[in-house]
Structure 1
Amino acid sequence: MRDMSSAVSVSDPAVSTPITVSVVDDDPMICQAMSLILNDYSQGRVVVVSTSGSGAEAVEKARIEHPDVVLMDIAMPNGDGIEATARLRGLSDPPHVLILTSLSPKGTVERAAEAGAEGFVSKTDAPEEIIDRIIGACEGRPQYNPASQRQLLADLHEHRPMTRRDEARALLNSLSEREREAVLLAAEGLTNQEIAERMFTSERTAKAHLSAASDKLCMSRVQIAQLVGRADLPSPLEY
């Protein structure tokens, strides 16, 4: 796994080294649009170093350019994007790979995860959301939106049935570390102020973490508390 800690600190605005991205799509208009979005809206945090029209071309360029992240379309000539993802992840200096798609057909999410993709980016997402997903991947956070999470669980159910406990744990693990911490504290019945005190942050920030978790899981606070209960989490030393 590429270690971004020595290359760029995306949370520190004083650091000027941008995340380098390669966009892969057989539609030149999509490549152009994504390049404009990333270069114009990221305020220097992200820069597109190349675009490719096929998976094979993307792999060859990655050998030379060593991008931090590759946005990979699925259906393309010369092998699909998931096959290209596996080849990219097999390089000596592998990039993070996010699948660039507008759909999540059956089996796609599971195949993408098995190939080494770290999440999905929708072609219809808002620019800031796309940028946040790229940054999140570089920080080691899986970038699966609610739709892809649900598809992944459905695919896993079909081939490797999961227990309700495992389902709950998988959903909780899809959250960022701070979102997950806030959710677990909320499930204990703590108020927002108490959660903020335990997390050594402001009440506003604690509420933002809970709101983000609710949006990602498509669940209310009560439903999330029930999810935590189903997860039956062991102590931190055991889990």
Structure 2
Amino acid sequence: MIRAVVADDEPLVRAGVRAVLTTDADIEIVAEADDGRQAIDLVQRHRPQVAILDIRMPDTDGLTAAAEIRRTVPGTGVLMLTTFGEDDYILRALSGGASGFVLKSGPPEELIAAVKAVAAQAAYLSPRVAARVVAHLTSTRAGIDLQAARQRVATLTDRERQVLALLGRGLSNRQIARELSLVEGTVKAHVSAVLAGLGAPNRAAAAVVAHQAGLGTPSTPH
């Protein structure tokens, strides 16, 4: 059973998230919060596998809450709820350790897939979110990030590039192991090498690099 905490300052959004997730027998919402500070407290109390956070909340926002949760409860993955036009927030959340991003306007099945991916310690980027982040990086920095990503990817071994491509698709270590016929411990070592080689703080950031370099399109894990 995947245990989750949901935080959003809009009751209607929380109700919608709850309605979607409770249709899946493998997911249980153990607590709800209407601000980031309360979300931090609830995560520290319940120790869920996933914290689902709105990016913008009063008092303590989702970005601050995500960073504090990752610092104090590293076993909890953070999934951010976002809307179009919040690209800068998404980039900051990536640096803060968020593992996934979904649009509030996205299809219900995407939210369920994202929760399951983050619970499995994989990264999940809504394809539309990933595309906007890449477009934002390219347009604001004249393509420098795309070029740098390709250069960093070129320094990886063939096997590491294969692993990066699968990270870009949102696969967990176990799923990558199945795809490449490797043991999970070997995949974990490759993932660590990929993150170090790219200078990426987490799997979600590596997934963006994979997308920038044309290696993998984030998608629903299988």
**1:36 matched residue in structure 2:** 19
> What secondary structure, in the 3-state scheme, does the structure 1 residue paired with 2:133 have?
helix
TM-score computed with the length of structure 1 as normaliser = 0.61
**Which of the residues 28, 31, 34 maps onto 1:47?**
28
**1:234 matched residue in structure 2:** none
How high is the sequence identity, in percent, across the aligned residues?
Answer: 24
Shift of 1:164: 3.6
- Which portions of structure 1, spanning 4 or more consecutive aligned residues, are displaced by more than 3 angstroms? 154-160, 167-173
**Which of the residues 76, 81, 94 maps onto 1:95?**
76
1:13-59, CA deviations, whole angstroms, 9 ceiling, x for partnerless residues?
Answer: xxxxx1001110001111122112111x21x1101111100000000
Higher Cα Rg: structure 1 or 2? 1
**2:169 matched residue in structure 1:** 175
Deviates more, 1:132-141 or 1:166-175: 166-175
2 CA distance for matches of 1:129 and 1:137?
12
TM-score computed with the length of structure 2 as normaliser = 0.65
2 CA distance for matches of 1:110 and 1:54?
21
Deviates more, 1:134-143 or 1:44-53: 134-143
**2:194 matched residue in structure 1:** none
Seen in structure 2, the aligned counterparts of structure 1 residues 139 and 151 have a Cα distance that, compared at 3 Å, is same
Higher relative contact order, structure no. (Cα contacts within 8 Å, ≥ 6 residues apart): 2
**2:106 matched residue in structure 1:** 125
1 CA distance for matches of 2:44 and 2:171?
32
Seen in structure 2, the aligned counterparts of structure 1 residues 175 and 34 have a Cα distance that, compared at 3 Å, is same
Shift of 1:74: 1.3
Q: Is the 8 A contact 2:100 2:123 kept in 1?
A: yes
Q: Is the 8 A contact 1:88 1:94 kept in 2?
A: no
Q: Supply the AA of the counterpart residue of 1:71.
A: I
Question: How many positions carry a matched residue from both structures?
Answer: 169
Gaps in structure 2 of 5+ consecutive residues: 154-160, 182-210, 216-222
**Which of the residues 69, 94, 105 maps onto 2:50?**
69
**Which of the residues 1, 5, 10 maps onto 1:27?**
10
Q: Is the 8 A contact 1:99 1:120 kept in 2?
A: yes
**1:151 matched residue in structure 2:** 132
> What secondary structure, in the 3-state scheme, does the structure 2 residue paired with 1:162 have?
helix
